[in-house]
A and B are shown apart, each in its own frame.
Chain A
């Protein structure tokens, strides 16, 4: 099942998980394995992407994703440039396309884009020559998050195929959900999702997942529990009456974790709302792999940057 030596990504951009096939996903995960060790060295730097220029264009707040990409770039010796909406000419009314074209005129090799509008990365991929990496576009996709989630599952469970995974929370607005659904289905995991019906988008059944409004049903016997963030703004829009009631109905507590397999792991893409979607003792408990996800994120993003720069399996310097 492991890709053969010399296998490369068939895509110039990483716009989402949906366009990738299982072989490409495994290629990224396998490549990330070899990058994981670099972060444990005293000198955490390899020359792999020396001379490459990467722009991090973050039009939405981000802690984990942005620092993870930046660290990945530094460890690969790429030159990076960081722009956010507040420090760019977007505040002067410049359009996304014009912003990107102007950055392109300075010949970067890659643009990492985080944007509040779904499809923003597609838009750039149509007008830019450099590789576009989608670092989260609205409620659409967040492919590197799903890749690091899969990497973490594989690391903890030894496989993805056949795993039972429950994803719980605000399904409607979650790009993490969508990328994970595509990825987990492609790699043969079984997925159940749960959340209040007011936060469940239509058509999830067509994506091959079981939908339940009862969290208990979703957790029964699963190997992996992935909690999604619930934003307070959703309450204002009437999706649920209070954060307290939300926690009572859908919060991941130690009692509810007992419904999962005894060796089940708990994941969360962050940022977490303790006491809203997850109890603090579960987030910090022995089954939580939330910080491992963050650690693995760097290796996964190194792999993505490397592969999109034209790298292939078996070419990596030891």
Chain B
């Protein structure tokens, strides 16, 4: 099916474009971007008054397949992604079994091709079974389509292994994504260490646990010339380290998750120990949240990534100490960003779109995140004025672990195209 997206405000940071244009989609590709394009045999999509952007990319998703299909599957995860405005997701390797070999990567790729409605880009393990001992067969996995390596969820504690990973991945120009956590400091912690952990009597995770590893990784990236990407960066001092490293020319990038710029550790107290406020890294303090907002605005932050982590309600409805870490994000990321970043005046639209498109595409070497002629027709259409109220029960995800029930947000994705196919249509 060919489409003519008529009269929308086209925001394509990769092509430095922000103007009212028509976009013609032909044979799954962007055929033309211009003014007054005739429809010919293309089907008309009136998007006047709406924003037409390259298909959004969420570079940090836990799809849970293979191994925990009770929590998320190719079908449910891609439906959640599409409804959240995402044409592409990069999926973390901490499945069961871990994605640490070519056969698992191929399984994910083939299952995604058969059953997912959005693009699924697998991320492979740094180490075999994510154990942090020896390198996984990264070259083999690259052949089958991984776009990065990470032992997400299992921080790489050995500095030697991290060095090896940063050096070895230079062969493939592959980014190493690290979940930065010094476990001897965070051990047993269930929320951010600060005033609120004291009052609630919960074991705290100091920000230093993240910052030490961020500093280490940046030093190793400088040593090796490898590419380090800091996952779900949550603290002010971590951000300062990344800003310095970038200024020195170190090949570093970072992502921030929406929950870290909309919530603080006060939410754990205010919710009365709601385990939906428990994730890793934990919700930090207001000064961290404000620093992240600055980093998002000034370009230190490269991408917004949800760290979408579905957890079975049976496991989440527990004592706070015992519940697993993790929060859903695919279906709330873009509305939260539009409301709290764009409408709040923190960033302009082009910057916001780049955090979801050209930013992650550059990190993962994806030929996506652009509306250039000839590019794959992954498109996200936004309605900046759409008022929504978060209803966790209506999520497409199989899980319900999000603390946003009833939040009123302004701005939402209304149409998602993947390779010229409409995979989500929420225009009515």
Contact = CB atoms under 8 A, between A and B. Distances in A.
A157 to B, nearest CB: 27
A139 interface: yes
A95 interface: yes
A207 B195 CA distance: 9
Nearest to A125: B272
Interface string B393-404: 000000000000
B198 A140 contact: no
B178 interface: no
A96 B198 contact: no
A120 B314 CA distance: 16
Nearest to A120: B319
Given A123-B273, A202-B204, A95 B318 contact: yes
A66 to B, nearest CB: 20
A115 B319 CA distance: 10
B194 A117 contact: no
Interface in A94-131: 95-97, 115-120, 122-123, 126
Interface residues of B, number: 21
Given A117-B319, A118-B273, A201 B200 contact: no
B194 A119 contact: no
Contacts of A116: 321
A202 B201 contact: no
B119 interface: no
B94 interface: no
Interface string B18-47: 000000000000000000000000000000
A123 B319 contact: yes
B201 A178 contact: yes
B273 A122 contact: yes
Contacts of A206: 195
A137 interface: yes
Nearest to A97: B317
Contacts of A202: 193-195, 197-198, 204
A138 interface: yes
A18 B318 CA distance: 23
B201 A175 contact: yes
A143 to B, nearest CB: 12
B198 A203 contact: yes
Query: In terms of DSSP, what is the predominant structure of the interface of chain B?
Result: loop
A138 B198 contact: no
B202 interface: yes
A97 B273 CA distance: 14
B319 A119 contact: yes
A222 B300 CA distance: 52
B199 A138 contact: no
Residue among B273, B317, B319 with the highest chain A CB neighbour number at 10 A: B319
Interface in A61-114: 95-97
A149 interface: no
Given A118-B202, A138-B202, A203 B320 contact: no
A223 interface: no
A256 B67 CA distance: 61
A291 interface: no
Contacts of A140: 200-202
Among A18, A118, A202, A203: residue with most chain B CB under 10 A: A118
A170 interface: no
A164 interface: no
B322 interface: yes
Contacts of A203: 194-196, 198-199
Interface string B156-198: 0000000000000000000000000000000000000111111
B315 to A, nearest CB: 10
A225 to B, nearest CB: 22
A204 interface: yes
Contact of A18 (B197, B199, B203): B199
Given A95-B318, A96-B319, A138-B321, A118 B201 contact: yes
A201 B319 contact: no
A116 B322 CA distance: 11
A262 B318 CA distance: 49
Contacts of B322: 117
A277 interface: no
Nearest first, the 9 closest Cβ-Cβ pairs linking A and B are A203-B195, A119-B273, A140-B201, A117-B319, A139-B201, A201-B198, A118-B201, A117-B321, A119-B320
13 contacts: A95-B317, A117-B321, A118-B320, A119-B321, A122-B272, A122-B273, A123-B319, A138-B321, A139-B201, A141-B201, A178-B198, A178-B199, A178-B201
